[in-house]
Amino acid sequence: MRAIKDMSSIKKIEGFDIDIEKIPKHIAIIMDGNGRWAQKRKLPRALGHRAGVDAIRDVIETSSNIGISYLSIYAFSTENWKRPQEEISTLMKLLIEYLRKEVKELHKNNVRINTIGNIKKFPEDVQNEINKAKELTEHNNGLCVNIALNYGGRDEITRTVKKICNEFLNDGLVIDDIDEKLINAYLDSSNIPDPDLLIRTSGEYRLSNFLLWQCAYSELWFTEVHWPDFTGKHLLQAIEDFQKRQRRFGGI
């Protein structure tokens, strides 16, 4: 009986066998390879980033259609400030342009925009656009697109430790109150479950400071595809692979 039920929840979506009852709740993506994509085509890096923004659209659409609850995308890391000023400005411009162009449509599709990371270091116009997008979509209950901006896992943990110390000094928190649940509650991602699946594009096999605490038990999936070439189909391929894995969370 159980086997019959399990089979019936598997649907062919774009050629992939997807168990619609086991869709990961939260997928995190390290969108790598914009620069290499551009270089391969003898184009400026800026055009690689622009193509990278275009790729986000398709992935959001697929995520939303198949019922993923949270999609975290690593758009600007705390280490990205080391890039040439011109490239940083391009990324900021693209972010503003993306939000201005896409937010109404995302809102119509019940998507909620959230951010993690310390956006206070961003130019004011960028901050305003981010805050406007978050406010407009805050009551939506469809897919949550969680954009990591000036985000680093170590920076997030450092800020979290500071917040907890402040509670200890000023608000009567005692050391025995500190446990994983409490630490979670002070992270930028406090209202978001841990990623089930972390995807990294462009053939690099590292976390690069993304969601260090949260990815403790995430399944990792890597592809050689550069981010601008990544589509909803690749996402479905990753989900199909993910669904074949056995997650034990340290148990047996």
Please enumerate, by residue number, every residue annotated as part of a binding site: 32-37, 45, 49, 77-79, 81, 83, 200, 206-208, 219
Residue 88 corresponds to which amino acid? I
Asked if 36 is part of the footprint of ligand FPP (rule: CB under 6 A), the reply reads: yes
Dist CA 157 CA 186 (whole Å): 9
Please state the closest distance from residue 196 (CB atom) to ligand FPP, in A. 21
Per CB under 6 A, the segment of 32-40, 113-121, 157-165, 244-252 that binds ligand FPP is 32-40
Nearer to ligand FPP (CB atom), residue 83 or residue 163: 83
**Binding of ligand FPP by 98 (CB under 6 A):** yes
Instruction: For residue 241, indicate whether it is catalytic.
Output: no
Q: Which is nearer to ligand FPP, 77 or 218 (CB)?
A: 77
Spatial distance between the Cα atoms of 42 and 61, rounded to a whole number of angstroms: 29
- 33 forms part of the interface with ligand FPP (CB under 6 A): yes
Among 18, 23, 28, 31, binds ligand FPP (CB under 6 A): 31
Nearest to 14 by CA among 220, 223, 235: 235
Q: Could you give the C-alpha distances from 65 to 6, 84, 154, 236, 237, in angstroms and in order?
A: 21, 37, 33, 11, 15
User: Token pair of 100, please?
Assistant: 């201005």
Q: CB 148 → ligand FPP: shortest distance, Å?
A: 9
Tokens in use for 90?
A: 């391009």
**Residue in the structure block whose two tokens are 């986000």:** 56
Q: Which is nearer to ligand FPP, 71 or 164 (CB)?
A: 71
Strands (E), 14-69: 16-19, 26-30
Q: Which is catalytic among the residues 32, 188, 194, 196?
A: 32
Spatial CB neighbours of 135, under 8 Å, sequence gap ≥ 6: none
- The single residue among 10, 13, 88, 94 that binds ligand FPP, judged by CB under 6 A, is 94
Among 23, 27, 29, 53, binds ligand FPP (CB under 6 A): 53
Whether 80 is catalytic is: yes
Q: Rounded to an integer, what distance in angstroms lies between the CA atom of residue 5 and that of residue 43?
A: 51
Phi, psi for 232 (deg, rounded to 5): -55, -30
**List of residues contacting ligand FPP (CB under 6 A):** 31-36, 49, 52-53, 56, 75, 80, 91, 94-95, 98, 147, 202
